Amino acid sequence: MSASVRELGITLGEKCNFRCRHCATASQAPHELSPKEIGLIRDTIMEFGVKAVLLAGGEPTLYVAKANKILRGLPGLSGFRVRMTTNGHFGDSLGKAIKTLKSFIRLTSVQVSYDRYHAEFLPINNIANISQACKELGIDFSVSFCVSNPLDVALVAELKKIGSFRVGIQKVLPVGAAARNLLGYKHPSFDEGVLGKKCPRIGKMMYLGGCGFSVCCSSLVLGDKKKVFSHPTLQGHMESLFYRLITGKTFKGIAKFLKVPETSLEPIHSDPCTLCSYLFLGKNAETLFT
């Protein structure tokens, strides 16, 4: 193993029963993992000694059987961590929440996505039920909250009224439906501090259904260049120029390598993923990443 993988994220399938206006992953032709892909994921988990997986989608609770096929019988399952991000649609009663969570072979952590766009589909009481269900089942619980402007944080106060759990705040990226609906977070000016940062995903990997493995779970693999920045095997991905640049250099170093002038950066590039996609999807990178 050439590098350690703290967590392998798996997009089980792209179907979702919500239609959020800021969705980064919405697809016209949703892919679902094939039996061959499930075998590949299981082999990779064992080969690389992966000790944690993230079940993602789409909406992962629509793919319980596929998740369990991956997890069933993995050696060392007792020390294994299984995290899921979900839209929480199944939390309309405590009983249903418990039944859904128990349908997975083993969950150790659940994160419900909630913000003003999810709130158009998800009653806040679902979060209270899922939080309580997790408490009863001994599962860690948190909420992931996306903001497109600072005023959105007011909704976090509503969440705090229904229980005491962690709320992670992220910014809406201008990707997918969010880009089409002009919902990306608006930065007032370019924050130069981002140039000294590296990809926040280093140490984690994704398996992207229909494509392969990538360190990226964001802008670069949510558009039509998915296959450029992923590889059919995890080892192949780790040996790629893209992976070496992402893990070896700060964004300043990557900009220099790709000969992208820092003077061309704008307020929107203050976010690591937006800057990253500007660098890797720009003209200078075309010959290296096509």
The SS3 of residue 113 is strand
Q: Count, in order, helices (H) and strands (E) of the chain.
A: 11, 8
For residue 74, the tally of other CB atoms under 10 A from its CB is 16
Nearer to ligand SF4, 111 or 277 (CB): 277
Nearer to ligand SF4, 129 or 274 (CB): 274
* x/- map, 181-200, ligand SF4, by CB under 6 A: ------------------x-
Decide if residue 127 touches ligand SF4 (CB under 6 A): no
- Cα separation, 110 vs 131, in Å, equals 9
Decide if residue 254 touches ligand SF4 (CB under 6 A): no
Decide if residue 113 touches ligand SF4 (CB under 6 A): yes
Cβ-contact 146, 115 below 8 angstroms = yes
Nearer to ligand SF4, 46 or 182 (CB): 182
Cβ-contact 97, 132 below 8 angstroms = yes
Ramachandran area for residue 143 (φ above 0: left; ψ -120 to 50: alpha; else beta):
beta
Residue 227 CB, nearest distance to ligand SF4 (Å)?
Answer: 15
Give the residue, chosen from 254, 272, 278, 285, that forms a contact with ligand SF4 under the rule CB under 6 A.
Answer: 272
Stretch that binds ligand SF4, among 28-36, 132-140, 161-169, 273-281 (CB under 6 A): 273-281
Decide if residue 175 touches ligand SF4 (CB under 6 A): no
Decide if residue 270 touches ligand SF4 (CB under 6 A): no
Host H or E run for residue 236: helix 234-238
- Contacts to ligand SF4 from residues 203-232, by CB under 6 A: 215-220
Phi, psi torsion values for 212, nearest 5 degrees: 150, -155
